[in-house]
Amino acid sequence: MALTRVLLTVTTYPLPSRSYDELVCTAGVLEDGTWIRIYPVPLSFLMNLSRSGQMTDRKYTWIELDLERRKDDFRPES
């Protein structure tokens, strides 16, 4: 996918990861109303968005992401 606007609505509790320190699963709504699940998201990525002012809150914030569909996950929202 190209840059996609997502309204973040849910962020899970961080999970330890060997590669990214901590990962979170996030979910949100696209501009057309479709639900989307975004995983994995490094917690540091969200923290950097917050520090830079691009994200004011972890919930109910519109952000633009370069998303890529996982080929091994067949859930429609993933």
In the chain, domain spans: 10-65
Rounded Cα distance, 78 and 71, in Å: 10
Could you give the maximum distance between any two Cα atoms of the chain, in Å? 35
Give which of 77, 19, 70 is closest to 45, Cα–Cα.
19
Task: Tally Cβ neighbours within 10 Å of residue 59.
Answer: 12
pLDDT tens readout for residues 8-63: 999 999 988 887 789 999 999 999 999 999 988 888 888 888 888 888 776 788 99
Length of the chain (residues): 78
Determine if the pTM surpasses 0.85: no
Give which of 16, 20, 31 is closest to 63, Cα–Cα.
31
